[in-house]
């Protein structure tokens, strides 16, 4: 969901290695592009939650996306919709307008996704040695 808002893969400016795995494990999450509706960011953050039991199911995501699609395409929302529906429609339309001139950023070709087998026992040992007390808050992505 983040890639759709930025035009690039999450963590594109990071080396895809065990260090990134550990940072993500400790709470590192990608940032969203500008002008993204609040409800979209909220849903994406739920999908990236650290507790898999609290993440929405694919069915719940589809239902939510369909709700938004109906709201955005309903001409009557502006007249008879409630405030939450009007806000959702407004934010999606503003986002569409903002992103008309959006161009994708070149990918760092060193960070191509590949399948790798990681020894999770070793990762867990490394994490326990770190004794990190605070999760990483945000990702800073430098301009290219």
Give DSSP secondary structure letters for the chain: -HHHHHSS-TTTTS--SHHHHHHHHTT--PPPPTT--HHHHHHHHHHT-S-GGGSPPHHHHHHHHHHHHHHHH-TTHHHH--HHHHHHHHHHHHHHHHGGG--PPPP-GGG--------HHHHHHHHHHH---S----------
Query: What is residue 136's predicted lDDT score, i.e. its pLDDT?
Result: 52
Query: What is residue 132's predicted lDDT score, i.e. its pLDDT?
Result: 59
Query: What is residue 103's predicted lDDT score, i.e. its pLDDT?
Result: 55
Percent of the chain residues topping a pLDDT of 90? 38
Domain span including residue 53: 1-117
Residue 140 counted as domain residue: no
Residue 71 counted as domain residue: yes
Residue 127 counted as domain residue: no
Residue 51 counted as domain residue: yes
- What is the domain count for the chain? 1
Residue 123 counted as domain residue: no
Residue 143 counted as domain residue: no
Per-residue pLDDT averaged across 34-39, rounded? 90
Residue 135 counted as domain residue: no
Query: What is residue 73's predicted lDDT score, i.e. its pLDDT?
Result: 92
Q: Which of 24-33, 67-76, 98-107 has the lowest mean pLDDT?
A: 98-107
């Amino acid at each position: 969901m983040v890639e759709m808002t930025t035009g690039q893969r999450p963590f594109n400016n990071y080396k895809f290695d065990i260090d990134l795995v550990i940072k993500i494990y400790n709470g590192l999450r990608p940032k969203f592009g500008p002008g993204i509706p609040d409800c979209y960011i909220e849903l994406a953050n739920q999908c990236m939650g650290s507790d898999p039991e609290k993440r929405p199911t694919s069915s719940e995501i589809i239902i939510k996306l369909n709700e938004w699609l109906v709201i955005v395409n309903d001409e009557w929302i502006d007249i008879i919709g409630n405030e939450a529906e009007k806000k959702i429609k407004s934010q999606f339309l503003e986002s569409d307008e903002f992103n008309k001139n959006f161009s994708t950023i070149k990918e760092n070709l060193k960070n191509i996704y590949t399948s790798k087998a990681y020894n999770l026992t070793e990762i867990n040992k490394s994490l326990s040695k770190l004794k990190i007390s605070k999760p990483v808050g945000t990702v800073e992505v430098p301009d290219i």
